Chain A
Amino acid sequence: MIQFRQVTVNYGYVPGALKDINLQMHDGDFTLILGPTGSGKSTLLRLIYMDILPSSGVVTVDKWSSFRISPRQINRLRRNIGVVFQDFKLIDNMSVFDNVALPLVIEGYRRKYIRKLVHVLLDEVNLLQSKDQRASTLSLGEKQRVAIARAMAKNPFVVIADEPTGNLDREASKNVLSLLERINRNGTSVIMATHDYELIKETPYKRIYMENGEVLPGDRTINIPNKRINILANKE
């Protein structure tokens, strides 16, 4: 379970990137974080993998709490979370194989085991044939699939995706979404921040709507027509 209790984030002297957030996300859920640019979606997600710590309040992720957490424990936490980003965050001059293997190398697994596991993972995202290619030579959609394979390498309890389709065309976006859905069906929680209303409008998932660093109450994203326009207008 992931829990936010009275969480506030100020970036330096700029206050209110997040204001008094109270939230719970349950294991196995697929959660969408929606909201205009600058509303605090990325900030919310960064708190989960503890890239930043709250200025006040507490974030609890599984058995880790942001309160007085040590750097070593933050690393532990991150090794149990999968992350996917809009800009993929692949290491461009490494092969596809090495990119997917990276979390396993960090964990200190044996070479033989890594090789087997990476094969399975690349097969899942349909990129086994590209395993020896440099990551930089892939198409954007392929890159994101590599990133998803890497996020799944450690079989995390949650995958966090911050606008994973932000740089992708329609076809690739659908592909990424269906991969995340498949991951979720296998029991892993998925938390995805997105601008792409078109992509998710038909989905039945839980939605958290953010604006100005606050979570709007209720499940109104989909239901209020004005908001829908807002989301799209703000994307430009």
Chain B
Amino acid sequence: MKFFFVIKQTFSNLWRERTPVVATILTICIALTILVALFEISFVLYDQLRDLESNMMVEVYLDPSATDSQVKVIQSELERYPTIERLRFVSKETAAAIFNEEFGENIMDILDENPLPVSFEVRLLREFNHSEYLALFKTQVESLKGVDEVHYRHALIEKLEKVTEAVAIAGIFVLIILVFAMNLLIRNTIKLSVYAKRRQIDIMKILGAGNLLIRMPYILEGAIEGFIGGFLSAICLIFAHKFIAGSFALVEIGTSTYKVLWVLTISFGILIGFLTSATSVGRFVNKIFAKK
């Protein structure tokens, strides 16, 4: 019977304060949608970055004037790098063959002689494929005698790194602001409900009701706001996915991701609703009866 009483009280609270409750639920919905979207975007970006990193090839071009013995020295220097996963020597001929394969034309037909430099193709261990190490590797190797240039797609990787970082930082900022906003609004509805029911709370206290029974309806009220907000947010996100997936090749989402979305938004909504109301209801109740 206690259970029914609490449930009845909870829904009567939600109904009584419906305007602020709806505003709160919408805020939770919007906040969670933005948060999860940001989370997903940074996830996709990170994925791209990883992809790029693991496929990245560093090319060490040698001077056309490098002698055979210089090439040998460079090779043995490179072989001593523990950060290198794979090393391949690309002779003039191999380079020409690659050119031929990629462009469908024989370079010798265009020019009289083979202008392609001798090079080493280097694949670094995956965890060293970030711009900081790459830059170091480049200066070290370029200082070797006979090395012309170390080349990798640094512009792209740096840009992607910067964007990923920026999104992550923005995400944390937005997270703080939105959690704060949700907190504020949930507390507001709890406060209004407690205030509206102050007479009832007073009566229940006189009849010997414990703290838990008195507070439970308000705690549940917050949790339900969070639940509905999270539920709506999942719907928004799934719509957004359906819409984006058509026009955006980046985001490919399976049904398992939808399940994750439901669980993520709803549980986060309930959690923030529950925690906010559970930690504030006692204070509101005490404040109202402090004057006694």
Contacts and interface: CB of A to CB of B under 8 A. Distances in A.
B82 interface: no
Given A105-B5, A110-B1, A72 B210 contact: yes
Nearest to A103: B207
A152 interface: no
A110 B200 CA distance: 22
A110 B1 CA distance: 6
A195 interface: no
B207 A111 contact: no
A79 B210 CA distance: 10
Interface of B: 1-2, 4-5, 199-200, 202-211, 213, 292
A74 B211 CA distance: 12
B206 A83 contact: yes
- Which 7 pairs from chain A and chain B are nearest by CB? A78-B208, A79-B208, A75-B208, A106-B209, A111-B1, A105-B5, A103-B207
Prevailing SS type, chain A contact patch: helix
A18 interface: no
A103 B203 CA distance: 10
Interface of A: 49, 51-52, 71-72, 74-79, 83, 89-92, 101-106, 108-111, 114, 150
Contacts of A72: 210
24 contacts: A51-B206, A52-B292, A71-B211, A75-B210, A77-B208, A78-B205, A78-B206, A78-B208, A83-B206, A83-B207, A91-B200, A92-B199, A102-B207, A103-B207, A103-B208, A104-B1, A106-B2, A106-B208, A106-B209, A108-B2, A109-B1, A110-B1, A114-B1, A150-B207
Prevailing SS type, chain B contact patch: helix
Contact of A76 (B5, B199, B202, B208): B208
Given A76-B208, A79-B207, A91-B203, A111 B4 contact: yes
A77 B2 CA distance: 19
Contacts of B292: 51-52
Contact of B1 (A74, A89, A90, A108): A108
A101 B210 CA distance: 16
B94 to A, nearest CB: 84
Nearest to B211: A71
Given A91-B199, A91-B203, A75 B209 contact: yes
